[in-house]
A and B are shown apart, each in its own frame.
Chain A
Amino acid sequence: FAGLADVSISEDIPVEGEITVPVGSHSPDEDFSTLDEPVRDTIMRDLKAVGKKFVHVMYPKKSSALLRDWDLWGPLVLCVSLALMLQGGSADSKDDGGPQFAEVFVIIWFGAVVITLNSKLLGGTISFFQSLCVLGYCVMPLTVAMLVCRLVLLAGSGTVSFIIRLIVVIAMFAWSTLASTAFLADSQPPNRKALVVYPIFLFYFVISWMILTFTPQ
């Protein structure tokens, strides 16, 4: 340490630097706008994510975006709208034979849970909520079919309308099943794909059947 004894700082070298504390101007107007922006950004970001997933369902390619960031907003919206549209379709007003809101809701979620458990038990690599997300989003074609059926039923309820509804529902059912298969079957061992596809087929079949046999009061 002897060599350090004569270290000294000459006094004509200025110490440079900046010490500034950013002080935001706190006017009340700016407070409201800074409060508004982040919330809208958050909502728009979530909405964009949901919208992107809807587009993925419309054109089912083997992409992992649907699986990676799963969310259950889309399935909730679809399930609620389908259940609302299916409500109250009964033959007799006294004894309700048509599916009630709670029934449709329970069928969709219970069915999705059963399919997920089944695919996990068969050795699937997909997680619980990812599978629920995919199955819920793939209900979208059937919701579109329900909308079309209601519109067709407004026009009339004869044989022609039944045939139109049958074709539309069958097409949408096939689309739903293919879309969900494209996402879910990849996570299974290759020789067991049929075992996973069959419950999905049954699930969408039951929903399609409820849509097809819907008769408004």
Chain B
Amino acid sequence: QGGGSAVIDMENMDDTSGSSFEDMGEMHQRMKEEEEEEEGEAGAAEEEDGEFLGMKGLRGQLGRQVADQMWQVGKRQASRAFSLYANIDILRPYFDVEPVQVRARLLESMIPVKMINFPQKIAGELYGPLMLVFTLVAILLHGMKTSDTIIREGTLMGTAIGTCFGYWLGVSSFIYFLAYLCNAQITMVQMLSLLGYGLFGHCITLFVTYNIHFHSLFYIFWLGVGGLSTLRMVAVLVSRTVGHTQRLILCGTLAALHMLFLLYLHFAYHKVVEGILDTLEGPNMPPFQRVARDIPVVSNAVLNTTAKAIALTL
């Protein structure tokens, strides 16, 4: 084989650059060009001699060698890129849990810690939070179906997945950014894990209140169950932050977002008591259908109906 020269140009081996395999590509390209020059010269010299021996044979061999070299380089680059970016083993440590541990963490997520002067340990695990987000998606679908929610642009499934994943990833990133500003000791995976387990309270609340339609029951669950899981997250964050202002900013934001999300999930995708829309839409709209997008109008109407329902039951 006309093997390429193994000259490694050191000034281009810049390991600090992010795209080192592009540098390798340049290097290989240069190697190939040198080789082609060499082979071109050798080929030219031989061609004059081998005119009678078949120039096409030589050129064919040259072509084959060049193509082979290119294939080798391409394959090496592709396999390097693949092993670097498509390696799911990066995530493997975060899924290394036992069912007992998952159950214990689920129960712990509802119990606020008392000791806030000592940084609390957060398990950086992603299996539990991921499963909780998917469970929330399933519960949300159930709620949307029973309330005959009509989504005008988009699909039921897309909305549910987008809402839940968007909340989990988006609010985690936002709180992580705030934690960075407020000098809190928490990593991104820990934040994802903390918020994910905090969704356990949401799952329980929504599962119960999508099936039993009492607004007073929902408010009790909202304050009780939602409040407990929020308190737990807040306590863990407080234990990891120094300074009163920082603690206030961080925990206030998290508490507000978490509680408001539960409120939003309940009122946006929930079957409303019959007769509510008579006051809004008039007699044309059938009573059990409503559009999920008109949030402020609906929440006003829902508050009115809550008052009516409570007045009726009393």
Which residues of chain A have a CB within 8 Å of any CB of chain B?
91-92, 95, 97, 99-100, 103, 106-107, 114, 117-118, 120-123, 191-192, 194-195, 198-199, 202, 205-206, 209, 213
Contact = CB atoms under 8 A, between A and B. Distances in A.
Q: Which of A118, A123, A195, A199 has the most C-beta atoms of chain B within 10 angstroms of its own C-beta?
A: A195
B113 interface: no
Q: Chain A: interface secondary structure?
A: helix
Contacts of A198: 131
Contact of A195 (B88, B99, B148, B158): B99
Given A195-B99, A199-B134, A107 B145 contact: no
6 contacts: A97-B150, A103-B157, A103-B158, A117-B88, A192-B99, A198-B131
Nearest to A114: B134
B135 A122 contact: no
B152 A202 contact: no
Given A92-B289, A198-B131, A209-B142, 12 more contacts: A99-B155, A103-B155, A103-B158, A114-B134, A118-B127, A123-B92, A123-B96, A191-B99, A192-B99, A194-B99, A195-B127, A213-B145
Nearest to B160: A206
Interface of B: 88, 91-92, 95-99, 102, 127, 130-131, 134-135, 137-138, 141-142, 145, 148-152, 155-158, 289
Contact of A192 (B98, B130, B152, B157): B98
A163 B148 CA distance: 20
A213 B142 CA distance: 9
A192 B103 CA distance: 13
B145 A121 contact: no
B95 A118 contact: yes
A202 B138 contact: yes
Contact of B135 (A99, A106, A191, A202): A202
Contacts of A213: 145
Given A99-B155, A99-B156, A195 B289 contact: no
A121 B92 CA distance: 5
Contacts of A122: 95, 127
Contacts of B141: 206, 209
A157 B151 CA distance: 24
A205 B99 contact: no
Nearest to A120: B88
Given A92-B150, A100-B155, A206-B141, A191 B98 contact: yes
Contacts of B88: 117, 120-121
Contacts of A117: 88
Closest 4 CB pairs between A and B? A121-B95, A194-B99, A97-B150, A213-B145
Nearest to B153: A95
B156 A195 contact: no
A91 B127 CA distance: 37
A100 B154 CA distance: 10
B214 to A, nearest CB: 23
A120 B95 CA distance: 10
Contacts of B92: 121, 123
A107 B156 CA distance: 11
A107 B148 CA distance: 20
A103 to B, nearest CB: 5
B139 to A, nearest CB: 10
B155 A209 contact: no
Contact of A97 (B131, B135, B151, B158): B151
Contacts of A121: 88, 91-92, 95, 127
A209 B144 CA distance: 12
A199 B134 CA distance: 8
A144 B88 CA distance: 35
A92 B131 CA distance: 33
A206 B161 CA distance: 12
B150 A91 contact: yes
